Chain A
Amino acid sequence: MENLKAKASKCIELIKEKGIEKAICSVSSNVISEFNADGGEFSLFRTLFDNSLSVTVYNKGRKGFVSVNRIDDDSISRAVENCISASESATPDEAWDVAPVTENAAFVKGCPEPDVDRLFERTEELMRDIASRHPLIIIEQMIVKHIRGESAYRNSNGVEYNTLYGEYSIELMFSAHEGSLSSSFYGSGVCTDTLEKSFITLGSIEEDLANVEKQIRTVPIEGKFIGTVLFPPQSLASVLYSALGNFCGNTTILDGTSIWKEELNKKVADERITVTSAPLDDRIICGEMFTSEGFRSENYYIIKEGILKSFMLSYYVANKTGRDRAKNASASFIMSPGDISVSDIIKGIDKGIIVGRLSGGEPSTNGDFTGVAKNSFYIENGKIVNAVSETMISGNLADLMKNLRAISSEVICDGATVLPYAAFDNVTISGK
């Protein structure tokens, strides 16, 4: 770590010697230990050693950015030169800025030191658990790894952060098979800082495996109707990323096309909807500690009880548009749970579907979306009838936020988000 700190400080000094007042440098080093399985069998063990140097300069308001994976002195000097050179043709823009010093800090996050043998044992156990408890499942690919990293961050205002971190992650891609019939594939994953629990018990892995086993035989929905869509946490995350990214994010606020641009502190969603971006929450394993500009990250409300409380803006876009920057740069979404169980939500749905995965393109700027409902189930008269195929849903993300039917009391934590199940009305569901 001492080496990285010295390199980051040296980088900032080199930039300042060139007469440039605003700059950021981050130097890091990491080791990844990773096991892979393919087609249901162990296939690969990887050990990766890598470095990273990223340099940003605001040269009289002209931005340059360079990243390389070499951190020797010559590479640092060359990166600084290339970065300054890159900035020289940029358009001056005084909106670029770096954070002032508030409190410098050293962070230790997660589990920096891996137990590779125990990781392998837990991975073997997961494969055994899947084979014995979910015999119809074939693991298309499994990636289980530990990443250990050290980084030193410096900016030209004197901000200094040093971080030592480590985390385990499990990513599974699988499908279920019976003879020549098969389900759609599905991905499930978590990140964690402990090997105390069996992997199959983490996040929604066990539930996802069980659901996919029920999706081998599907029935296309007949015709078209307006119904209710129930999103489990993983697909709800996609909906939130799309909606909030589209209506609150940098691009549409900067170019003025966001349909929520005048809606700050106004009602944009059902009053039961509260969404925070909370990288510092104890349940978030992969959360950031500071933003790229050097601000210490804080949790913040995006939507509180249906009211839009903040856009998700970088410091640059905030300065550019005269708005407030977001208090962190992550999308560590936490949605407040409701007071009804998932099973009771389903019992209350006359006609609709549970959408395990929505396969669709980027929604339009106005929020219109269409997509294929994958890994999904048809609900009629409060009961799950069958898995579906060749079924599309369409609607508008802004309307969806207002057409909430219910939020579940259960939440799933996968280390990156903490989300419940949520049901929305008035969605177009169409089959053959």
Chain B
Amino acid sequence: MLQDIISKHKPFFPSSAHTELRAQLSRSKSVTVIAGNLTTNTRNETSGVSSRVYKNGVYGFSSAAACDDEAVKNVLKAACDNAAFMDAHVRKNKAMFNALPYGKYDDKIEISDVPQKNYIEFSKELDNYIHTKYPGLSSRIVAIREDSMEKLLCTSDGFDAHFTAPRSYVYVIMSASTDSGVTVELFAPVGGCGTFDMNFTDPALLYPTVDDIYEKLMRKREGVYADAGLKTVILGGDLSGMLAHEAVGHTVEADLVLGGSVAGHNLNKRVASELVSLTDFAHTAFGVSAPLPVYVDDEGTPAKDAVLIDKGILTGYMNSRETALHFGMEPTGNARAFSFSDEPLIRMRNTAVLPGKDKLEDIISSVDDGYYLINTNNGQADTTGEFMFGITMGYEIKNGKLGRAILDTTISGVAFEMLKTVDMVSDSMNWSSAGFCGKKQPMPVGMGGPELRCKVMIGGK
């Protein structure tokens, strides 16, 4: 657990600037078994202190790979010097942030350091199950990833905090050959917030997941190419979550709005059908903990939900303290840093389309000719809202019934146009949290949503 070596330096923060001082310990562990071969067996640990100083519209930042008094003094001085350098050269003369109330937060969680052998033995046992039960696979991979952050934060105003963010996942990836020799692949991550020993107690508990992946893979092995074009589709929860994050979420990050995103011209306008509402949840969603909860951000702002779309109307952005001042909005606690040597950026937390009232079976039976798209392995979007998602599992829908599986394909569209075609929203909710969002720095994020009936472009032949 991090020792508090920073709070005693708070009296020495510069008086005419906003200052953040952070100590952070990050760990990541990784084990990969490919076709029975242990190809990755790694542990990484980084720690250090950093400081960021805001003065007249510019920031100075510095970090050092040490957690002692000398390092703290050095980074504070360097951050002040860098802010002064920028201020002298740029002269933006912007106002100071609106003050936040003082407070303290401590999640009192101590992250356990799981021995490497636990990951290896778990992987081997799961791999052995797959190899024994499904010898006909052309390839199999079992991978375990665990990452965690522990942070101590002191700010000139706002909350001083100690908080942690551990998460762990097991990935199972299987490949099979079709009769014509083409390889098809399917994967699934299992896990979430918490250390490996909290989330995974017995490999046998994952056997049903393995069996499910295999069954879907066999259907995909007999799959057909999608018919390319503009189609009526049902996006599963993985896909609606990806849509919430990639195609909408990034465009309403206030720094990207300032960079020219499409959301800048659409605040308080209709961007989706009235069935669509979308929120970036801070720590609690639908009465339970969100997948990756955030209570205080790295600027000392207590985190609260950012309501982005309400019944189809774009209602807000996700803000840092600086952008909140610019847009005249409240900061939402979205400013987060990945490593001790990273400065806080506006990042999503748990971004989701809210569920509606329709039953999935009713949505399926309403489609005469279309696709039910369930799994994705990749998503990219533009600040214009144009998006592309890779589809790894889906089915044809013919006359209201699920048909053949489809081979890997891609869907695309423009978020604020496509969301206006949403005409049914399921009453279920599916979260995912295994990925990293990339935006200068990586960042763990949660995303989720219900099934959506809508129209998108689908690739194929």
Contacts and interface: CB of A to CB of B under 8 A. Distances in A.
Contacts of A141: 259, 440
A372 B228 contact: no
Given A392-B410, A392-B459, A45 B61 contact: yes
Contact of A67 (B43, B78, B139, B183): B43
B412 interface: yes
Given A38-B255, A390-B386, A63 B41 contact: yes
Nearest to A220: B457
B115 interface: yes
Contacts of A64: 41, 116
Contacts of A46: 60-63, 82, 343
Contact of B228 (A40, A138, A180, A392): A392
A293 to B, nearest CB: 14
Contacts of A365: 175, 183, 185
Contacts of A151: none
B117 A185 contact: no
Nearest to B322: A43
A255 interface: yes
Contacts of A126: none
Interface string A359-392: 1111011101011101000000000000001101
Contact of A70 (B39, B47, B139, B380): B47
Contacts of A90: 38, 41, 120
B284 interface: no
B184 A364 contact: yes
Contacts of B376: 361
A257 interface: yes
Given A390-B413, A430-B228, A182 B262 contact: yes
B105 to A, nearest CB: 26
Interface residues on B, range: 35 or more
A50 interface: yes
Interface string A395-432: 00000000000000000000000000000000010101
Contacts of A316: 39
Interface in A44-86: 44-51, 63-70, 82-83, 85-86
Nearest to A45: B82
B437 interface: no
A241 interface: no
B103 interface: no
Contact of A38 (B41, B60, B259, B378): B259
A91 B37 contact: yes
Contacts of B138: 255-257
A390 B382 CA distance: 12
Contacts of B413: 390
Contacts of A251: 34
A70 B66 CA distance: 7
A83 B115 CA distance: 11
Contacts of B83: 45
Given A389-B386, A432-B457, A42 B86 contact: yes
Interface in B161-206: 175, 182-185
A254 B259 contact: no
B17 to A, nearest CB: 14
Interface string B290-331: 000000000000000000000000000000000000000000
Interface in A320-375: 320, 359-362, 364-366, 368, 370-372, 374
Nearest to A120: B89
A135 interface: no
B260 interface: yes
A394 B62 contact: no
A45 B102 CA distance: 27
A140 B41 contact: no
A140 B182 CA distance: 42
B408 interface: yes
Contact of B461 (A47, A138, A394): A394
Contacts of B132: none
A255 B34 contact: yes
A132 interface: no
B224 interface: no
A9 interface: no
B119 to A, nearest CB: 9
Which of A47, A70, A139, A320 has the largest number of chain B CB atoms within 10 A?
A47
A184 B377 CA distance: 22
B428 interface: no
A150 B82 CA distance: 24
B182 A359 contact: no
B265 A180 contact: yes
A372 B259 contact: no
Contacts of A41: 90, 92
A175 interface: yes
B65 A70 contact: yes
A44 B386 contact: no
Contact of A182 (B139, B384, B461): B384
A300 B259 CA distance: 42
Interface in B368-386: 376-378, 380, 382-384, 386
A389 B387 CA distance: 11
Interface in A166-184: 173, 175, 177, 180, 182-184
A390 B412 contact: yes
Contacts of B443: none
Contact of A48 (B341, B409, B457): B341
Contacts of B89: 42, 120, 124
Interface of A: 38-51, 63-70, 82-83, 85-91, 93, 120, 124, 138-141, 143, 173, 175, 177, 180, 182-185, 224, 251, 254-257, 316, 320, 359-362, 364-366, 368, 370-372, 374, 389-390, 392, 394, 428, 430, 432
> What are the nearest 5 A-B pairs in CB distance?
A361-B390, A140-B259, A89-B117, A39-B258, A361-B378
Given A90-B38, A390-B412, 10 more contacts: A65-B40, A68-B44, A120-B89, A175-B383, A184-B386, A256-B35, A361-B388, A361-B390, A364-B183, A366-B183
8 contacts: A39-B258, A42-B90, A46-B82, A49-B65, A140-B259, A360-B378, A360-B388, A368-B407
Interface of B: 34-48, 58-66, 74, 78, 82-83, 85-86, 89-90, 92, 115-117, 120-121, 124, 138-139, 141, 175, 182-185, 228-230, 255-256, 258-260, 262, 265, 341, 343, 376-378, 380, 382-384, 386, 388-390, 407-410, 412-414, 440, 457, 459-461
